[in-house]
Amino acid sequence: MPMNRQILLDNRPVAEATESNFRLVTTPTPDLQEGEVLVRHHYLSLDPYMRGRMNEGKSYAQPQPLGQVMIGGTVGEVVESRHPRYQSGDRVVGMGGWQEFSVVKADALGAIRKVDTTHVPLSHYLGAVGMPGVTAWYGLVKIIEPKAGETVTVSAASGAVGSAYGALAKARGCRVVGIAGGQDKCDYVVKALGFDACIDYKQHADAASLSKALKQACPNGIDGHFENVGGMVLDAVMLRTNAFARIAVCGMIAGYDGKPLPMTAPALILVNRIKVQGFIVSEHMEVWPEALQELGQLVGSGRFRPRETIEQGLENAPKAFLGLLKGKNFGKQLVKI
Amino acid sequence: MPMNRQILLDNRPVAEATESNFRLVTTPTPDLQEGEVLVRHHYLSLDPYMRGRMNEGKSYAQPQPLGQVMIGGTVGEVVESRHPRYQSGDRVVGMGGWQEFSVVKADALGAIRKVDTTHVPLSHYLGAVGMPGVTAWYGLVKIIEPKAGETVTVSAASGAVGSAYGALAKARGCRVVGIAGGQDKCDYVVKALGFDACIDYKQHADAASLSKALKQACPNGIDGHFENVGGMVLDAVMLRTNAFARIAVCGMIAGYDGKPLPMTAPALILVNRIKVQGFIVSEHMEVWPEALQELGQLVGSGRFRPRETIEQGLENAPKAFLGLLKGKNFGKQLVKI
């Protein structure tokens, strides 16, 4: 069996996460038992939720155990199989973690599934046609429930979730306005992803200033918003909501380091009769088939061309992950293994 | 036609509302036109929403115009009618405002309706079997949607909305825990209203302390919450929410004076996948018949005995209203006219 390089969580962040929280080890892969397959990973997905798992405190998910392989989505190919439905060469998506190989009980619920790479490149099953895409779909379709002609917004618009959200909202006849950090990201969001407008939050010192820019970009107000960030962006969006606006809360990335991150004016929830709802896409597996079908069609037909930022080599995963948390990526952040 | 004493909004509050914001005048009532009725008010309802109307800023409702009679719910009797469906002596509920008489176009939508005082005292149509009762019903039934055995909480538990909420939640098999200000109110909430527990928020200096008390009173966590106040109480409740909790936001009384009132930890919306939703009961007239029927049965059968605080005389309405904003009332605050 091949030797397997793995990245473990070595210790928990005190405040900001650093590379020293991780440790690279090499171990042999165990022999396969009946029903198991050995998968060689091609790509590892890096996602903001992993930062939450690094903390010990109560969160929606169990903390990542110390000394174990970091959790993470992977795509790859089966290199050995002791399961009748899988054979060498099958392309699969799963939760293989930050390592080169994984041994998977193929019948375990949600462990792996085969994917078709005829029209959709393998790596997109970690992004636009994977968990981030379904996340955008759930927030937009099930919480925001937009009508054609409504204005919907999203923070971290150039990321994997934000870009899928834009494609899904345009397909529903909405005006879509992104919020992103930096002019190059905003240009990409408008020119490549087809958003109607994008606002660079880094040009704004406070929520009042950002809110003015949102007023210009959303002349009819905001009917739906997808929140990936929290803090100033959410405060600014709330100031521009229309009556009966819906806000899907998917991420609070600015708060992971333990800094307090209050909502400045929750009274707006009452004044504008807003619905604010948090969700985790893995708790809604019933929508995945429908969502993946729509996302696969958008990507396969070329109407949605998601961008990826690809780091080379497993050993660089921690650095790339810390960069993701600071918004250094452009579209979906992957590691080529 | 009789002379009519009226209380007008004379000027807007700078910060805290004061009696000097109001002015008492006496004017003759106009002659009735065809289709109008003259109503002599027996009781005026005082409600927290009126404070919001006193401000000029954008809110969900138009500001109360200066120099005009303060808006408000009233019950009374028809003393003269030029409408075929009404006659002298009819008991009616309407939005007559802070005055002794009102002239009403009886066919205008929502202007007045006749009420039956056989089993329900007239004044209760301003409280338990009126707008406050329906408010509690909407938040509980349509937003919180409780299941039997769940734990639900409410702030301002001894007030008109809170007490109706308790009766409705007990009728659905919930554990109901109130939050109120002062031991006498808490005793009333548990002993007279039948809540399972009530916490005196005045005994707690901060949200962390209040949250500990909530943990004791809600050993299985909080599944649904009805927010009448905002601020520290909401922060404390959010710390005790279970996954998929629902929070109906009906009031943010602590914020009306323009003080900032942040939500300390909105990340909990994501961590616990909470739904937080603001609403205004007057936008949901479709539920009123169903809600009033249930509330009327609870009161008529004696299972719910709402308490009232009654101020004597129209001229004392401003003083009673300012007291209401400070929580000096006990149950529904009325003015006997």
Does the beta-carbon distance from B273 to A279 stay under 8 Å? yes
pLDDT of residue B251: 86
Q: How far is A206 from chain B (nearest CA, A)?
A: 16
Q: How many Cβ contacts (< 8 angstroms) between chains A and B?
A: 101
**Rounded distance, CA A101 to CA A98, Å?**
9
Q: How far is A191 from chain B (nearest CA, A)?
A: 31
Q: Nearest-CA neighbor of B247 among B236, B265, B234?
A: B234
Does the beta-carbon distance from A264 to B262 stay under 8 Å? yes
Q: Which two tokens stand for residue B107?
A: 């066919």
Number of neighbouring beta carbons within 10 Å of residue A120: 19
Chain B CB contacts of A261 below 8 Å: 265-267
Same domain, A23 and A114: yes
Q: CA triplet B121, B73, B195: central angle to 5 degrees?
A: 60
Q: Does the CB of B68 have a partner CB in chain A at under 8 Å?
A: no
Q: Which residue of B has its CA nearest to A270?
A: B278
Chain A CB contacts of B58 below 8 Å: 271
| Residue B295 located in a structural domain | no
Q: Which two tokens stand for residue A260?
A: 């307090």
pLDDT of residue A259: 64
**Rounded distance, CA A209 to CA A193, Å?**
25
Q: pLDDT tens-digit profile of B311-322?
A: 999 999 999 999
pLDDT of residue A103: 96
Same domain, A137 and A104: no
Give the one of A261, A271, A283 whose C-beta lies nearest to B267's C-beta: A261
Sign of the Cα pseudo-torsion (A172, A178, A183, A184, in order): negative
Q: Does the CB of B286 have a partner CB in chain A at under 8 Å?
A: no
Supply the pTM of this predicted model. Answer: 0.90
Same domain, B29 and B153: no
pLDDT of residue B52: 85
| Residue B105 located in a structural domain | yes
Q: How far is B133 from chain A (nearest CA, A)?
A: 18
Q: How far is B86 from chain A (nearest CA, A)?
A: 36
Same domain, B136 and B273: yes
Chain B CB contacts of A279 below 8 Å: 270, 273
Q: Does the CB of B279 have a partner CB in chain A at under 8 Å?
A: yes
Does the beta-carbon distance from B60 to A243 stay under 8 Å? yes
Same domain, B254 and B203: yes
Does the beta-carbon distance from B263 to A267 stay under 8 Å? no
| Residue B220 located in a structural domain | yes
**Which of B211, B237, B247, B277 best tests the A interface by mutation, with the highest count of A CBs <10 A?**
B277
> Chain B 39-58, CB below 8 Å of chain A: which residues?
58
Give the one of A255, A262, A271 whose C-beta lies nearest to B262's C-beta: A262
Same domain, A231 and A252: yes
| Residue B93 located in a structural domain | yes
Chain B CB contacts of A270 below 8 Å: 60, 249-252, 278-280
Same domain, A230 and A107: no
For residue A199, the domain's CATH number is 3.40.50.720
Same domain, B47 and B163: no
Same domain, B323 and B254: no
Does the beta-carbon distance from A273 to B60 stay under 8 Å? yes
Encode A322-335: b = buried (16+ Cβ within 10 Å), e = exposed.
bbbbebebbbbbbb
Burial of A122 (0-12, 13-18, 19+ CB in 10 A): middle
pLDDT of residue B117: 92
> Chain A 247-266, CB below 8 Å of chain B: which residues?
249-252, 255, 260-266
Q: Does the CB of A269 have a partner CB in chain B at under 8 Å?
A: yes
Same domain, A66 and A173: no
| Residue B290 located in a structural domain | no
Does the beta-carbon distance from A266 to B271 stay under 8 Å? no
Residue length, chain B? 337
| Residue A168 located in a structural domain | yes
**Which of A59, A161, A271, A275 best tests the B interface by mutation, with the highest count of B CBs <10 A?**
A271
Instruction: Name the stretches of chain A with pLDDT < 70.
Output: 58-61, 253-260
Chain A CB contacts of B274 below 8 Å: 277-278
Query: Is the complex ipTM higher than 0.95?
Result: no
| Residue B106 located in a structural domain | yes
Chain A CB contacts of B249 below 8 Å: 266, 269-270
**Rounded distance, CA A156 to CA A186, Å?**
10
Q: Which two tokens stand for residue B139?
A: 């938040």
Cross-strand partners of B8: B23, B69
Q: How far is A186 from chain B (nearest CA, A)?
A: 26
Q: Does the CB of B282 have a partner CB in chain A at under 8 Å?
A: no
pLDDT of residue B254: 54
pLDDT of residue A214: 98
Domain count, chain B: 2
Chain B CB contacts of A280 below 8 Å: 270, 273
Residue-by-residue pLDDT tens, chain B, 337 positions: 789 999 999 999 988 999 999 999 999 999 999 999 999 999 999 998 899 899 887 666 678 999 999 999 999 999 999 999 999 999 999 999 999 999 999 999 878 999 999 989 999 999 999 999 999 999 999 999 999 999 999 999 999 999 999 999 999 999 999 999 999 999 999 999 999 999 999 999 999 999 999 999 999 999 999 999 889 999 999 999 999 999 999 987 655 555 668 999 999 999 999 999 999 998 999 999 999 999 999 999 999 999 999 999 999 999 999 999 888 888 899 999 9
- CB proximity list for B8: less than 8 A, separation 6 or greater: B22, B23, B24, B25, B66, B67, B68, B69, B70
Q: Does the CB of A283 have a partner CB in chain B at under 8 Å?
A: yes
Domain range for A177 is 131-282
Q: Does the CB of A282 have a partner CB in chain B at under 8 Å?
A: no
Does residue A236 contact residue A211 with C-beta atoms inside 8 Å?
A: yes
Same domain, B121 and B185: no
Does the beta-carbon distance from B261 to A280 stay under 8 Å? no
| Residue B151 located in a structural domain | yes
Number of neighbouring beta carbons within 10 Å of residue A194: 15
Does the beta-carbon distance from B278 to A272 stay under 8 Å? yes
Does the beta-carbon distance from B243 to A273 stay under 8 Å? no
Q: CA triplet A325, A327, A333: central angle to 5 degrees?
A: 80
Same domain, B50 and B91: yes
For residue B76, the domain's CATH number is 3.90.180.10
**Rounded distance, CA B256 to CA B54, Å?**
10
Sign of the Cα pseudo-torsion (B325, B329, B331, B332, in order): negative
Q: Nearest-CA neighbor of A38 among A73, A90, A110, A115?
A: A90
